[in-house]
Amino acid sequence: MTSEESGLYDDLRNNRIREGVGLERNIRVLVECVSKLIHCDAICYPGRFLDKFVNRDIMLRLLDIVLAALGCLIALPLLAALYVAGLFDTGLPLFRQVRVGRWQKSFVLVKFRTMRPGTASVATHLADVSAVTPFGSFLRKTKLDELPQLWNVLRGEMSLVGPRPCLPNQHELIRERQLRRVFDVRPGITGLAQVQGIDMSTPVLLAEIDARMIQTLSPVSYFRYILLTVLGRGAGDRVKNKMD
């Protein structure tokens, strides 16, 4: 494609008509544009096609809002049942904790409580396994403790897919994520590290995996991580036994 035709191609993408160019040339370039779209795997890989014409951040944010809203509506009876069960378990069903979000701004993460009230506020892999209640253990195994974070997604503090938000006192992980610009995106409920079973006990590896996910994230991989999580893939942040 010549420079003139390339300019016309850009105009066609932006719904503008180039004056002074014959109808035959317009049609020929339009056909070539369509051919290029087909050969760029627009049909086989719709994520690539969308990435070429739609801002990825805007697209993923729209997906977050739609899916989180639907999730809240569909899971409302389950959320209510888990809340009531939590009242009998610890008396305080919801757990709120300050986490580090996008641009390193703090926000309050909400999830179902899985440990006894008064447990030290430390990274999950440093917590005492004896602090986890039987009901909390069930919530962790099924990952249902994460459901209230749909509220964080709707508020724009989190995404369904992204690096897991860390605590303000996890200085090594924060430093490694700063180096790799992981804080440029919203933290997520799940992601590549979660489905691979990589937790915050290995901060360098976790930051590397987070950065790789951010670089390659597309609508296709976005849905893939969600599906793998729903199917039970990965363990995420684990409370480790004393012998681990």
Q: How do residues 123-144 score in pLDDT, each as one tens digit?
A: 676 777 888 999 999 999 999 9
Amino acid residing at 201: S
- What CA–CA distances, in Å, run from 178 to 3, 103, 159, 173, 210? 40, 9, 19, 8, 11
Residue 99's H or E segment, with its range, is strand 94-100
Between 244 and 214, the more confident residue is 214
| The predicted structure's pLDDT at residue 5 | 47
| The predicted structure's pLDDT at residue 10 | 56
Selection from 165, 191, 170, 186 nearest residue 109 by Cα: 165
Residue 97: pLDDT over 80: yes
Q: Enter the pTM of the model.
A: 0.74
Residue 70: pLDDT over 60: yes
| The predicted structure's pLDDT at residue 33 | 55
Confidence of residue 239 (pLDDT cuts 50, 70, 90): low
Per-residue pLDDT tens for 6-62? 554 455 455 444 455 555 555 565 556 555 544 444 444 455 545 554 588 899 999
